[in-house]
Amino acid sequence: MKKIITTLTAVALIALLLTHCKKYNTTFNSYFYTSKDSNEVQLSLYIDGNYKGDLPYLTNKPTCDNDSLKQKALFLTLQSGKYKIVAKDKQDNIKSSSTLKITNNSMDGKTGNGGSGGLEATSKDNCLIVGVFY
């Protein structure tokens, strides 16, 4: 009886460990945009200090279910993890600075340095929509 309980406990712990590891290795199809009119200020997206592209201006928020709006957003693949998200104007001024933490079942965004700007993130399955604003 003890042997069966020990075996079942070991199997349960291994299953829990494998499930936990999977959470941190998820790849997200990520779509970035801004709701700030690009005629006023064109924003460039930097993730962890690396330039990723210019943020397209979208008047409507894209959703994971709306393929036509997603196609207009800046597409990137991101692994689960913690990222420094920065939007700069053409003069290299930081307009928005945030930290984005994503896992398989949660997201957390924090605006940095007490400045204006931030982000709004939503997800569904492996789809992630991130709006950057200031």
**Which are the contacts of 3, defined by CB distance < 8 A and separation ≥ 6?**
none
Domain range annotation of the chain: 27-133
Please check whether residue 75 is in contact with residue 31, taking contact to mean a CB–CB distance below 8 angstroms: yes
This prediction has a pTM of 0.76
* 81-100 pLDDT tens trace: 999 999 999 999 999 999 99
3-state DSSP of 60-112: CCCCCCCHHHHCCCEEEEEECEEEEEEEECCCCCEEEEEEEEEECCEEEEEEC
* 28-84 pLDDT tens trace: 999 999 987 766 788 999 999 999 999 999 999 999 998 899 999 999 999 999 999
